[in-house]
Amino acid sequence: MKNEPERTHLETGVLIVGSGGAGMSAAIAAHDAGADVMLLDRSLIGRGGATVMAQMTVAAAMGEEVPDDWRNHFADTLKAGRGLCDQRLAAMLCEDAPAVIRQMDEWRVGWARHADGRLRQTEAPGHDRPRCVYVDFLNTGPAISRTLRAQVQRRSQIVRIGELCIADLVVADGVVCGAAGFSVTDGRTVTIAARAVIVATGGLTRLYWRNSASANMGGDGYALALRAGAELIDMEFVQFFPIGHLAPRLIGMDPIMWDPFRYKLGGHLLNAQGHEFIGDYDLIESGRYRATRDVATYAILKEIEAGRGSPAGGVYLSFQHVPEETLREAFGPVIDRLAANGIDLTRQSVEVAPMAHYHMGGIRVSPSMETRIARLFAAGEAVGGANGANRLSGNAIPEALVFGEHAGRAAALCARGERAQAWRDAAASNVRSLLDAEPAAEMTENPASLIARLQMLMDKCAGPIRTEAGLKTALAGIAEIKRALGPAPPRAQRPFDAARLDWFDLRNMLLVAESVVRAGLARRESRGAHQREDFPNLDVRLPVNQMVRLETAGLAIDTVASAHCPARSAAQ
Amino acid sequence: MNPVATLLIRRGQKGEEPSWSRFDVAYQPGQSVLDGLRRIRIETDPDLAFRYSCINANACKECLMLLDGKVVYACTARLEPREMRLEPLANKSHIRDLVTEIAAPDERLTRLARPAG
């Protein structure tokens, strides 16, 4: 039985792909600037993505604890970025962060406060002073998501559609004119004509087996941008979160939950001999938690490699030196959730290890968040460049909110202009042939297991510590998985077809994984989150950014000595 | 013999007569039901449909289903070395396997959808 494929065609002004923090901020800003807005998500609106999972803190120079200035935050951001930050984007992030934090406060997000009403700001690693606001307990991301969602809903003209997976952007004459994909709910093909498109799909942590993010962070937006003709920047810099939870098995909690408690209480990182080892690696901790994420990750992996790791393959994190009442005060109800998992911090350590957490690289944009493809914008973690070779902790949420707002305004301006690229069916014919395809044969490979294979490969060969041989093994493995995946999806249109969704996801993941690996091979030095065993030193001649683009023959890399490097302190 | 958790899962899409699939997954203490379901997709049956986004954090609230007749989040319900019966939510419109329509009515494509040529 052969059915005619079903298709729905929609039209909008500003099309936003992804409804996390960046997408929702962009939707609000574009709407308030007078544009028609359509907000899509491959999952349910405002539930997937990374924002809702952020249990952590948000950096902004509010000066509520001690005097501060955005230029101090900027200086710390550049320092963490190891000379590679796009200073225009980094400055925008830091300068606008206080305003978006105030805006969220007006929208009643519930920032933690002192009795006298001042916001509580905690000192996170890499910051020169207490700068990071938060919502108790471990509730920062959910509170931000809920607040933005309420604001989006209040703007009833914003069209929201969940479970719509975009397979490709549609470009005619070098200008984006919309997108095409499928409804996960019923499988039908959906084409959308848009006057401007914002990619707000977040990062790529799903490329790694050990990761701290949600299942839909497979780098979709990077692949969409590449195939549309846009460039990516800094793809070799994947941030690993040093102390992701490993054991005992902990459910109902984000694996990165330990960090804020480490700031507050100074948890000890110990190797199998009970030695606190971070100080052996170039940094003196002096009882406080100071090491930036790339350094901590490196130190932990080196301890494990030297055979001084824990049974589950990590190191120990211990709060046993902290009095029980202090633990209770700092952890609040989290203590009870830990108890439900059989964990008593007064009596035991937990095992932690680095896991993929965030991507510094991403879509290359101008300060108006526009790519080199006209009418195509990006926002949030999907954008590359602001954080250079290593992101300062607390910068992800301000990046989502600030870049979302800028992209929303710029796209609205573009969509409200008189001219636009008209939708052209012919420009969508390649992706339509995938979306409308009848499968040629029975599914021979399990796409879910191919995804797991890619994740294991990336963990092993393209993790925080790299070698040329390992990266070449990764490239060969990626090519093999690509062959196994085949040229067309395994199924025709059906309601909630998990295998078909995996096929489209893996198509993107393979392209993005290859971008990470090729950029990693090309950068023959160690810098920030990219550590090469075979090139262990930072090369002072290499404060350059690498751009990845997709040519007919495959991925190509250009090296650009960025005008925005090297980093210099802008603080007074 | 290593202990196994047996997941008995109601299958099929809307409008079809439901069937049941039985999967044995290796049991490790502390794992969630969602861990078991994800393992089944990787090892045995990639067509098995269930919703989830956040995997572990109980943040996305998408993995609601019935475990032995009671509503649970699959990410916080513990896997146990026994037969566990999984069904879609009873009070929501059924889509496929363990997936039901839980999206807000005004966030569905059907609100806007008109067939195109």
A356-398 pLDDT per residue, tens: 999 999 999 999 999 999 999 999 999 999 999 999 989 999 9
Look at residue A414 and tell me whether its pLDDT is greater than 70: yes
**Nearest CB neighbour to A251, from listed B46, B61, B76:** B76
Number of domains making up chain B: 1
Q: Within a domain: residue B117?
A: no
Cα separation of B14 and A200, whole Å? Answer: 32
Cα separation of A527 and A535, whole Å? Answer: 10
Tell me whether B92 touches chain A (CB under 8 Å): no
Neighbour count for residue A272 (Cβ, 10 Å):
15
Cβ contact, residue pair A44, B31, below 8 Å: no
Domain of B92, in residue numbers: 4-111
Strands A7-17 and A37-40: parallel
Of A293, A337, A375, A466, the catalytic one is A293
**Considering Cα of A327, then A329, then A331, then A337, what sign does the dihedral take?**
positive
Contacts of A300 (CB under 8 A, 6+ apart): A242, A243, A269, A314, A315, A352, A353, A354
A293 given a catalytic annotation: yes
Tell me whether A340 touches chain B (CB under 8 Å): no
Q: Within a domain: residue B73?
A: yes
Contact A405, A29 (CB under 8 A): yes
Q: Within a domain: residue B74?
A: yes
- A466: helix, strand or coil: strand
Contact A494, B13 (CB under 8 A): yes
Percent of chain A with pLDDT over 90: 74
pTM for the whole thing?
0.94
Kindly state the helix (H) or strand (E) to which residue A9 belongs, with its residue range.
Answer: strand A7-17
Strands (E) across A228-339 are located at: 232-233, 238-247, 268-270, 315-318
Q: Within a domain: residue B67?
A: yes
Look at residue A400 and tell me whether its pLDDT is greater than 90: yes
Neighbour count for residue A72 (Cβ, 10 Å):
21
Contacts of A99 (CB under 8 A, 6+ apart): none
Per-residue pLDDT, A340: 86
Cβ contact, residue pair A452, B42, below 8 Å: yes
Cβ contact, residue pair B104, A141, below 8 Å: no
Per-residue pLDDT, A331: 82
Contact A184, A496 (CB under 8 A): yes
Contacts of B76 (CB under 8 A, 6+ apart): A251, A252, B32, B58
Cβ contact, residue pair B28, A9, below 8 Å: no
Q: A533: which strand partners?
A: none
Kindly state the helix (H) or strand (E) to which residue A101 belongs, with its residue range.
Answer: helix A87-106
Each residue's pLDDT tens digit, A66-103? 999 999 999 999 999 999 999 999 999 999 999 999 99
Q: B87: which strand partners?
A: B66
Biggest CA-to-CA distance, chain A: 73
Cis omega (within 30 of 0) for bond into A447 = no
Cβ contact, residue pair B61, A47, below 8 Å: yes
Residue among A342, A213, A384, A469 at smallest CA distance from B78: A342
| CA B101, chain centre distance (Å) | 12
Tell me whether B32 touches chain A (CB under 8 Å): yes
Mean pLDDT lowest among A236-245, A249-258, A435-444, A531-540: A435-444
**Which CATH number covers residue B52?**
3.10.20.30
Q: Which residues of A touch B116 (CB under 8 A)?
A: 7-9, 191
Contact A289, A262 (CB under 8 A): yes
Tell me whether A207 touches chain B (CB under 8 Å): no
Per-residue pLDDT, B59: 81
Q: How many CA atoms lie within 13 A of B46 on its CB side?
A: 19
Complex ipTM value: 0.95
Each residue's pLDDT tens digit, B38-85? 999 999 999 999 999 887 778 888 999 999 999 999 999 999 999 999
The residue with greater pLDDT, A131 or A417, is A131
Domains and CATH numbers, chain A: 242-354 (3.90.700.10), 439-560 (1.20.58.100)
Tell me whether B102 touches chain A (CB under 8 Å): yes
Contact A327, A335 (CB under 8 A): yes
Q: Which residues of B touch A185 (CB under 8 A)?
A: 95, 101, 103, 108-110
> How many Å lie between the alpha carbon of B17 and the closest alpha carbon of chain A?
16
| CA A508, chain centre distance (Å) | 15
Residue among A355, A248, A206 at smallest CA distance from B31: A248
Mean pLDDT of A15-29: 97
